[in-house]
Amino acid sequence: MILQAEMLECAHACLAMLMEHHGQPWTLEQMRSRFVPSSRGTSVSQIVRMAQSLGLDARIFRAEPDHLAQLKMPCILHWDVVHFVVLEGVADDGFHLVDPAVGRMVVGSREFDRRFTGIVVEATVGLDFGRVRPAADRSALVLLREGVLQRRGTIAAVVGMALLLEVLALIAPLFIQVSTDSIIPAGDSGLLWMLVAAFMVAAVLQTLVSMARSWTLLRLGEELTVAWNAAVCSRLLRLPYIFFMRRSISDVHSRFASIEEIQRVVTNKFVEGVLDGVTALLTLVIILAYSPTLALLTFCFCLAYGILRSLTLSRLLEGTERAIRARSSQQGQLLEILHGVHSIKAAGDEEKQVSRYNRKTRDAAQASASVQRWGGMVDEMGQAILRLHWIAAVGLGAWLAIRGSITAGMLVAYVTYAYQFSLRSIRMLDLVAQWRTLRLHSVRLADIVSGPAQAPGGDELPLPGRSDFSVHALQFRYNSDGPLVLAGVSFVVGSGECVAITGASGSGKSTLAKVLVGLLEPDQGRIELGGRPMQVLRREHLREQIACVLQDDQLFNGTIAENIAFFEPGFSRERVSRAAMLAQMHDEVMAMPLRYDTRVIDLGASLSGGQRQRLILARALYREPRILILDEASSHLDLENERLINEAIQALSITRIIIAHRPQTIAIADRVLEMRQGCLYEVTPARCDELPA
């Protein structure tokens, strides 16, 4: 069973399950890497093309529920109009499905008739099956391993202290054995008090070493958490912009929680688990020296727990993955409510949103409870095995003592060692199970840490004194089999020129703006800045030369000055004021009680739409760019403020590309271009008056 990570990945998950059934396992990550998910979902015909490219013979047809039992299963069903599921079989109790969003389920006839659209994708092994191999599975552990290797000294100290604790724990039962077999029969009180003193010193030493180890582990855990979060965040921000367009904020946010889970296992469990394995082996050797029969008994009970763990592990892993998805969905719903609270309150829709959130919360609670039930059952059965082992060990040991095979002291020591062996073995086997869970968290992080980084750019600089901009035969689509959004765009903007781009909504203007500033990589064509291709320019220099204001730009929590300077260390207050003046925001800021130290909270929710736009424009102007790209940057401004801003920017003599609908904004341009069907066309002055406002 493979669960989807995103709402629009159900088709990828279903296809991965079919490939696994036919003997070629593909992970969701591998499927996503080969077939980039579209932000608009996947159609049935696209699923067929994907399956055929993997060597499957796939076909689409309509079928009635009564005829599904005759199909070759598993197959993919179109479900709830916007979803896909895998049909595993049809039985008397209903239809056995795997829903990538929730897992396995059995659906009755009435519900099935209501949700099944009648469309089926059947896929069988074709002649080319097996020729296409999945890319190597990626893991976040490679990146996280660097943080561990940098702290080898601390880890070595923890291991050394843990080994000392294990040795002290292993010699404790010998005190009972020596006292029972040697000191009491001989009546040697001098030796007794000598041993008491020695073992008391060992107990104090054990306490001190245990405290030191705990403190060291806490410090190690803190350092690893900080280092890993910084590494993953750094890697996240180096990913291309399109990565964020295809994933929800809640899903990316939930993946960071996996870092803490990995840190907890590595610092608190891994070292202990390895030492538990070593200690269990040593205690088994000691028990073997006492009696091979007792050693066999102890080993058999440990083997029973191992079998129990292996039989329940897959169910626990599936439940854990389902719980993670459900919790991510719940967090996403809450974030959506918080971001849109003004719309919710304006529409009086509070109760409906609470109901939606409650459903997500109930799903998350049920998924978590399911994991806890299975985990609790395994723990209780493990405790039962421990108790049965203790009873059997005492009984068999006493029987051997009666026969004279072992002494009474050896019996007491054996029972202690047997308990230690069982306890350590169980903890080691639990670590193996947790390691599998760790792999699950690692795969979730792999989407971030192993994804292709944004192209670094070259080492060249634009020609001095030039800020001209030229675009040649630019093509772009959001996914490989999607339509062309930009279909051969070409235009030239001279140094200091102002060009306006207009067109209908959805025609590709904002996409063009994101390609021009380097957020999106074009499929074909080239962009030249100052006579040099953009891809050969230094990226940091490119960001200094080109500033932009896009429709979805945001302010951040901090002061107004920090937002204008974009949190630049040691920023210039004079440049901040100058940028605010150009954006016609200085007077309003100075009228605030704290002026430029006024806090911007909740992404600027306390400011008006026009104020937010002007602060974002001031942020772009603070960098003193040579090229300015504006995408509906004045849509919330009144005409007077827009006029003053345009006059101020025009005096700077910088190259401007303005995307707008307003006639007043378009009127300031030297030339006007119109976007139609993915291409740009020059608009004559006579036609400018005919453009829609």
Q: Which residues are catalytic?
A: 10
Pair of tokens at residue 564: 């204008």
Closest CA to 410 of 420, 400, 419: 400
Other beta carbons within 10 Å of 413? 25
| Helix residue ranges, H only, 44-151 | 44-53, 109-115, 141-149
DSSP β-ladder status, 679-683 and 671-676: antiparallel
Other beta carbons within 10 Å of 663? 13
Q: Would you say 1 and 98 are in contact if contact means Cβ atoms under 8 Å apart?
A: yes
Pair of tokens at residue 185: 């029969």
Q: Residue 527 pairs with which residues in a beta bridge? A: 471
Pair of tokens at residue 343: 């719309």
Q: DSSP letter for 66, please.
A: G
Closest CA to 680 of 472, 467, 468: 472
- Give the DSSP H or E segment for 413: helix 408-449
Pair of tokens at residue 6: 């995103």
Closest CA to 100 of 28, 18, 2, 8: 2
Q: What are the DSSP calls for 214-251, one per residue?
A: HHHHHHHHHHHHHHHHHHHHHHHHTS-HHHHHTS-HHH
Pair of tokens at residue 318: 């599936």
- For residue 149, count CB atoms less than 10 angstroms from its CB and return exposed for 0-12, middle for 13-18, buried for 19 or more: exposed
Helix (H, G, I), strand (E, B) or coil at 174: helix
Distance (Å, whole) CA 665 – CA 60: 51
Q: Would you say 241 and 519 are in contact if contact means Cβ atoms under 8 Å apart?
A: yes
Is the link from the previous residue into 483 a cis peptide, with omega within 30 of 0?
Answer: no
Q: What are the DSSP calls for 351-410, one per residue?
A: HHHHHHHHHHHHHHHHHHHHHHHHHHHHHHHHHHHHHHHHHHHHHHHHHHHHTTSS-HHH
Report the alpha-carbon angle 598-600-603, nearest 5.
170
Q: Which amino acid is at 310?
A: S
Report the alpha-carbon angle 51-57-62, nearest 5.
90
- Give the DSSP H or E segment for 107: strand 103-107
